[in-house]
Chains A and B, each alone.
Chain A
Amino acid sequence: MSSELPRTLEHYRHAVRAHELSAEEYLDETRQLIERGDPQVKAFLHLRLDTARSDAQASNPSSPLAGAPIAVKDNIMMAGERCTCGSRILEHYVAPYSATAVQLLLAAGAVVPGKTNLDEFAMGSSTENSAFFPTHNPADPTRVPGGSSGGSTAAVAAGFALGAIGSDTGGSVRQPAAFCGVVGFKPTYGLVSRYGLVAFGSSLDCIGPIARSVRDAAIMMNVMAAHDPKDATSVKRPHVDFEAALQPTLAGKRVGLIRELQGLDVQPEIAAAMDMARKAAVKSGASIVDVSVPHILSALPVYYIIAPAECSANLGRFDGVRYGLHIDGRDMTETYSRTRDAGFGTEVKRRILIGAFVLSAGYYDAYYRKASSVRQLIADELDTALQSADVLLTPTTPTTAFRIGAVTDPLEMYKADVFTIPANLAGAPAVSFPAGKDAADLPIGLQLMGPRWSDAELLSSANVLFTALGGES
């Protein structure tokens, strides 16, 4: 039965509109997959399948998402549901309102089967930093799904949802999408509202769709991309139809390869996938151009100054007074520190301390100010490179999914983000799409990055390469 179920949002919507399938039938099948598979995968922190089923029953088949199950990362608020951020400090916190992105999905007919696991406060690349439990990669349960949106990407890969949303601060949608063999898109900064996303690094955070095809990501973007006065960084732009913008070829496109990344050590099968993508691009009418982004390798150290600095400021609000956990101390100061000590995990503490250090008197200029300048330099260099290329092609990750527990050194873990971070620093859109498997049958992801506000063209180019490399159109 499940093999006949539509694999993509596109096919699901078609089947529901043709009355071959109802939203509640699909949700019942999804429930079975979740009940059978999630005890092993552990993609969800909380399920709400009964409510989702009533929502599916009430959904309108002609609405854009027609009752399709879309999972939501548990750092994005949904009114009346817990929002833990994968942290003990918010273990019992219930969201008083819904994020704008969630509201838009619900208004378009989506139903939410549950909230998905993540690295605590989205800090991590493996979902092992969740305070509750690690998520397992559906392609191989001994391996991580990537992170921090590992619950969302695992849910989509395992068939627990037709799509999901995650947050991407340094690659947290794209890297787990690559590890799980699904599509993950980080839009241009300002295109999708972050109202209701629990803030980590405010100058970097974006909400993006996770889907089984690039077209599905475009369908979700049609719903999620909207100006929101409640997010001061949301930008008013002319309406774009992301799905209608998908073109069949890359005719006339210039695909750039970044010279400075060529020497990096990547897994041989990923290098081979890059080669195949390059050939597919040429076959589809694109030209390949060599571009230079001289300081791109400084993106990683820049990020690990800027992101902790912003996180140390944003996480100041968790003080045992306004939200969540409260542990009494002798006075306010001790109450703050005892609450935060009990509520935050090791990686979160590490990043808060780095952030507090680089922002503190005597170190601010050498670290934070310097990193901000180098960030500008990299963003300017990317702008220049994107004048001679329409898109930049890179791997999404240097390796495929690693084993749970295999990477224990935080600095080694950070290096998994080397290809994804530049887009966050520049506010540029970037998408990871599946491009085959490695020798151990683990998914490989490749990334396309484009100029700011080229989101529709970028998804179009990714769709051509994704389908050329075997993905569903």
Chain B
Amino acid sequence: MAMIIDKETLEHVASLARLEITAEEEGPLLGDLERILGYVAQLSSVDTSAIVSKRPAMTELRPDEPCEGLTREEGLGGAPAMYDGFVVVQNVMGAEDE
């Protein structure tokens, strides 16, 4: 049976998810994901062509109006690095080797 997920796909998905996969993790993860994805793939045999839902929408949205919330300090308080009321990040525009 064809594999659903191979090493290359796992590496691609991991890069999309911004996760590092170590060499020791890769083998067991590939095995687990293959079995889980193989299990959930059974849904392909369910006929969903005739679904006509009469269910109401699950949510009611409020008007998008500004209201009182956290202060700037409270909102930023969990950030690992802050400067002058801003979150600090590394240079994202410059050359790679600066």
- Which A positions have Cβ atoms within 8 angstroms of B? 93-94, 96-97, 189-190, 203, 229, 232-233, 235-236, 295, 298, 301-302, 304-305, 312, 316, 319-326, 330-333, 335-338, 340-341, 344, 346, 349-350, 352-358, 360, 366-367, 370-371, 373-374, 376-377, 379-380, 383, 410-411, 414, 427
Return the contact of B58 from the options A203, A295, A366 (Cβ within 8 A).
Answer: A203
Whether A190 lies near B74 (C-beta < 8 A) is no
Inside 8 A of B3's CB, which chain A residues have their CB? none
Residues of B within 8 A of A320 (CB): 80
> Contacts of A321 on B, CB cut-off 8 Å?
79-80, 87, 89
Is there an interface contact between B36 and A304, defined as CB atoms closer than 8 Å?
yes
Q: Is the CB of A356 within 8 A of B40?
A: no
The reply to whether A340 and B19 form a contact with Cβ atoms under 8 Å apart is yes
Interface of A is mostly: helix
Q: How far is the CA of A344 from the CA of B35 in the complex (A)?
A: 22
- Report yes or no: A357 in contact with B9, Cβ–Cβ below 8 A: yes
Contact between chains at A383 and B55 (CB < 8 Å): yes
Task: Please determine whether B78 and A323 come into contact, CB atoms closer than 8 angstroms.
Answer: yes
Q: Are B53 and A380 in contact (CB under 8 A)?
A: yes
Pair A357/B29 contact, Cβ less than 8 Å = no
A298 touches B42 (CB 8 A): yes
B20 at the interface (CB under 8 A from A): yes
Number of residue pairs spanning A and B whose beta carbons lie under 8 angstroms apart: 158
A234–B25 CA distance with the chains assembled, in angstroms: 40
Restricting to B3-19, which residues have a CB under 8 Å from any CB of A? Answer: 5, 9-10, 12-19
Give chain B residues whose Cβ lies under 8 Å from the Cβ of A360: 12-13, 16
Contact residues of B: prevailing secondary structure = loop
Chain B residues with CB under 8 Å of A312's CB are: 17
Q: Which range contains the number of B residues in contact with the other chain?
A: 35 or more
CB contacts (< 8 Å) of B87 on chain A: these are: 321-322
Contacts of A414 in B (CB 8 A): 36
Asked, given contacts A96-B78, A410-B32, whether A341 binds B20 with beta carbons under 8 Å apart, the answer is: yes
Residues of B within 8 A of A340 (CB): 17-20
Once A301-B39, A380-B51 are accepted as A-B contacts, the answer to whether A332 and B90 lie under 8 Å apart by CB is: yes
A373, B43: Cα distance in complex, Å = 10
Q: Which residues of A lie under 8 Å from residue B35 when comparing CB positions?
A: 411
Cross-chain pairs A/B with CB under 8 angstroms, 25 sampled = A96-B70, A96-B74, A301-B42, A302-B43, A305-B43, A316-B18, A321-B80, A321-B87, A322-B79, A322-B87, A349-B25, A350-B32, A350-B33, A350-B36, A352-B17, A353-B19, A357-B13, A357-B37, A358-B40, A366-B41, A367-B43, A371-B40, A380-B54, A410-B36, A411-B32
